């Protein structure tokens, strides 16, 4: 089902980032509404950049993402690499992940149906 990138969060956002990074085929697995994982050659690893700084931090650096507060609770993510995209989130990770998805997949993304029931 198509979902607006600006509305993605949680597991749905993690899956969208994996799709944007082309982590498909045998490497990417979606575990029912519980999360997203990938095989990295030495085992199955959880992929959750929307909440895991060790994963999202590397993406922020690689994608040249910068942030600014636009209100008390909203961050804007932007990057000279992804101009003219700007995305927003409640956390740095959420805003950065939405920017990565929007710049590579557009303003809407197809999310596996089994994740649509989860909501997050």
39-50 core/surface letters (b: 16 or more CB in 10 A; e: else): eeeeeeeebbbb
**Can you tell me the mean pLDDT for 82-96?**
91
Mean pLDDT on 62-77 = 94
Q: Which residues pair with 77 in a beta bridge?
A: 67, 87
Question: Which of 54, 37, 57, 53 lies closest to 45 in space, CA to CA?
Answer: 37
Q: Is 72 helix (H, G, I), strand (E, B) or coil?
A: coil
What residue ranges do the domains of the chain occupy? 2-115
Residue 82 has a pLDDT of: 75
What 3-state class would DSSP assign to 108? strand
DSSP 8-state symbol, 37: E
Mean pLDDT within 20-36: 73
**Using 50, 70 and 90 to split pLDDT, how confident is the model at 33?**
low
Whole-model pTM above 0.85? yes
């Amino acid at each position: 089902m198509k979902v607006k990138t600006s509305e993605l969060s949680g597991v749905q956002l993690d899956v969208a980032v994996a799709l944007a990074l082309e982590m498909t085929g045998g490497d990417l697995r979606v575990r029912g509404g519980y999360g997203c994982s990938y095989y990295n050659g030495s085992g199955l690893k959880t992929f959750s950049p929307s909440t895991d700084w060790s994963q999202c931090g590397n993406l922020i650096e690689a994608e040249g993402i910068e942030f600014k507060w636009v209100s008390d609770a909203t961050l804007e993510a932007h990057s000279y690499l992804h101009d003219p995209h700007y995305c927003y989130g409640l956390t740095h990770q959420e805003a950065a992940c939405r920017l990565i998805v929007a710049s590579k997949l557009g303003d809407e993304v197809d999310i596996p149906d089994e994740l649509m029931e989860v909501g997050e």
